[in-house]
């Protein structure tokens, strides 16, 4: 599951968001509770069908990734700020715990609080056959105390000055993304259906 959630909407920038589908600005500059939905923002064009939340399942058509779904979830005006990747490992054959185990999971969290941790199901110490979830945790603020961690865009700005494109989306990646999503967005715009509204 790849997740990108924002707890704020477009607040006064709906016209821009409606045309370009992205948000640029300070999320703390306005009270998010002032608007009930995207369509209540006076800067949003009447009858807009712009989506502010989406979830998709993608699959890679090759032998290595056969049967592995990639869940993509992103949205604005949600319950929390979160950017993370969760990788759930496959169940193993010969489960000695009679199906009581959750799947082991690797979590890579970008925000809030950068971290990499692995959630593992293991046998509890002792003679019983109980299982418990444990974590191997690398939370940056705990592991690197006293180290000044840069803000989100500091590295990107440095890359611009250095002429490095390592942390930027390549143009061919962008073209492929638009090939995927443009037909869907055009279908939404031209059809009678509309995105389902939700309050924030």
Q: Is the pLDDT of residue 87 over 90?
A: yes
Tell me which of 35-39, 72-76, 169-173, 179-183 is least confident: 35-39
Is 197 inside any structural domain? Answer: no
Clarify whether residues 15 and 72 are in a common domain: yes
The reported pLDDT for the residue numbered 23 is 34
Asked if 40 contacts 16 with a C-beta cutoff of 8 angstroms, the reply is no
Clarify whether residues 127 and 108 are in a common domain: yes
Clarify whether residues 134 and 111 are in a common domain: yes
Q: Is the pLDDT of residue 21 over 60?
A: no
Clarify whether residues 45 and 13 are in a common domain: yes
Order the strands of the 82-88 sheet from edge to edge: 53-58, 70-75, 2-5, 82-88, 105-111, 115-123, 131-139
Clarify whether residues 108 and 33 are in a common domain: no
Tell me which of 11-20, 164-173, 190-199 is least confident: 11-20
Does pTM surpass 0.85?
Answer: no
Asked if 135 contacts 117 with a C-beta cutoff of 8 angstroms, the reply is yes
- Is residue 98 left, alpha or beta, with left meaning phi > 0 and alpha meaning psi from -120 to 50? left
Clarify whether residues 5 and 43 are in a common domain: yes
Clarify whether residues 50 and 39 are in a common domain: yes
Between these two residues, 144 and 20, which has the higher pLDDT value? 144
CB atoms within 10 A of CB 183: 10
CB atoms within 10 A of CB 35: 22
Clarify whether residues 11 and 65 are in a common domain: yes
Mean pLDDT, the chain, as a whole number?
79
Is 86 inside any structural domain? Answer: no
Between these two residues, 177 and 16, which has the higher pLDDT value? 177
Is 24 inside any structural domain? Answer: yes
Between these two residues, 142 and 97, which has the higher pLDDT value? 142
| Count of residues making up the chain | 200
Q: Which residue, of 134, 149, 164, is where some domain finishes?
A: 149
Is 107 inside any structural domain? Answer: yes
Q: How far apart are CA 22 and CA 10, in angstroms?
A: 9
Clarify whether residues 138 and 109 are in a common domain: yes
Asked if 52 contacts 77 with a C-beta cutoff of 8 angstroms, the reply is yes
Clarify whether residues 142 and 156 are in a common domain: no
Is 90 inside any structural domain? Answer: no
The reported pLDDT for the residue numbered 16 is 58
Is 199 inside any structural domain? Answer: no
Q: What is the mean pLDDT of residues 89-100?
A: 75
Q: Which residue, of 26, 54, 80, is where some domain finishes?
A: 80
Is 61 inside any structural domain? Answer: yes
Is 102 inside any structural domain? Answer: yes
Q: Is the pLDDT of residue 34 over 50?
A: no
How many structural domains does the chain have? 3
| Residue 47 to residues 39, 43, 103, 122, 192, Cα–Cα distance (Å) | 8, 12, 44, 53, 11
CB-side neighbour CA atoms (13 Å) of 126: 6
Clarify whether residues 75 and 53 are in a common domain: yes
Domain membership of residue 38 as a residue range: 1-80
The reported pLDDT for the residue numbered 14 is 66
Clarify whether residues 103 and 58 are in a common domain: no
Q: How far apart are CA 92 and CA 14, in angstroms?
A: 48
């Amino acid at each position: 599951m790849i997740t990108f959630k924002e707890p704020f909407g477009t607040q006064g920038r709906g016209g821009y968001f409606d045309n370009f589908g992205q948000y640029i600005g300070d999320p703390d500059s306005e009270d998010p509770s002032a608007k009930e939905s995207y369509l209540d923002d006076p800067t949003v064009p009447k009858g807009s069908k712009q989506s502010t939340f989406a979830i998709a399942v993608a699959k890679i058509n090759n032998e290595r990734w056969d049967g592995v779904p990639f869940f993509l979830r992103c949205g604005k005006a949600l319950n929390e700020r979160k950017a993370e990747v969760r990788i759930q490992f496959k169940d193993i054959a010969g489960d000695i715990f009679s199906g009581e185990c959750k799947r082991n999971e690797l979590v890579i969290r970008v925000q809030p609080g950068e971290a990499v941790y692995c959630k593992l199901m293991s046998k509890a110490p002792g003679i019983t056959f109980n299982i418990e979830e444990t974590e191997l945790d690398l939370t940056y603020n705990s592991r690197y105390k006293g180290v000044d961690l840069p803000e989100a865009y500091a590295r990107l700005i440095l890359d611009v000055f250095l002429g490095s494109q390592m942390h930027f989306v390549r143009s061919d990646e962008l073209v492929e993304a638009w090939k995927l999503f443009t037909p869907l967005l055009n279908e939404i715009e031209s059809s009678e259906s509309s995105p389902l509204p939700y309050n924030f």
